Structure 1
Amino acid sequence: MKNSPLYKGSLTTIIMKLLEENGRMYGYEITQKVKKTTNGELNITEGALYPALHKLEAEGLLDVEVAKVDNRMRKYYKLTESGKKETVNRLEELEEFIRNMQTLVNPKTNPDLQF
């Protein structure tokens, strides 16, 4: 199920959740954390990650810090205060979506739902 279109709509929420948990992260670190956490089931490409990071930054949800690491400049991303609040909102929305999908896919778990 690698790189399923189902994940694409959740990419920014995934990024924000990781930054909430880890403080600040750089791009490659985000891709590797997702890959490791999902046992290789989800691979975020640079072509998907960086536009999402830039969009979140433009929306004022991320701050960028630049640091020199091994004679290279590295960009670290972290949530702004409004980004922290928006992360809570997006996670609640995603959890509600997942619950609704589970109910629709497996109506036996909800006896009130009759088809």
Structure 2
Amino acid sequence: MKKSSLYKGSLTTIIMKLLEENGRMYGYEITQKVKQITKGELHITEGALYPALHKLEGGGLLEAEVEKVDNRLRKYYKLTEDGKRETVNRMHELEEFIRNMQTLVSPNTNPDLQF
């Protein structure tokens, strides 16, 4: 994953948000969607993606469906009901984190801060 130190902690949230928006996706599709959305700035490797998918599935936040496509088996992932609720929680947490980071890196843009 490009710029991994900044994005690594957000990988599961990224996956969950994409699944929330798209219903169900398979692994390669997730990597390509992230690359498309970020205009090539973010690359998720298989070595990062599949352990994250398996962890989310093991935690009951995702479920997988295997489907035969062009004589090959393809594993699609989708959010469970718990996963949908957790996605909402993680998005709120991420939004708060982004607001705090913006305040820290640009304190002059927040008139409420006094030093």
* TM-score bucket (shorter structure): over 0.9
Aligned residue for 1:88, secondary structure, equals helix
Once residues 68 and 3 of structure 2 are traced to their aligned partners in structure 1, the CA distance between those partners, rounded to angstroms, is 32
CA deviation after TM superposition for structure 1 residue 4, in Å: 3.3
Once residues 8 and 113 of structure 1 are traced to their aligned partners in structure 2, the CA distance between those partners, rounded to angstroms, is 30
**Which amino acid in structure 2 is aligned with residue 86 of structure 1?**
E
Corresponding residue for residue 112 of structure 1: 112
Aligned-residue sequence identity (percent) comes to 84
Q: TM-score, normalised by structure 2?
A: 0.96
Consecutive unaligned residues of structure 2, counting only runs of 5 or more, are none
Consecutive unaligned residues of structure 1, counting only runs of 5 or more, are none
RMSD: 0.8
CA contact (8 A) 1:19 1:79 kept: yes
Corresponding residue for residue 91 of structure 1: 91
CA deviation after TM superposition for structure 1 residue 114, in Å: 3.0
Corresponding residue for residue 33 of structure 1: 33
Residues paired across the two proteins, number: 114
Corresponding residue for residue 15 of structure 2: 15
**Which amino acid in structure 1 is aligned with residue 48 of structure 2?**
A
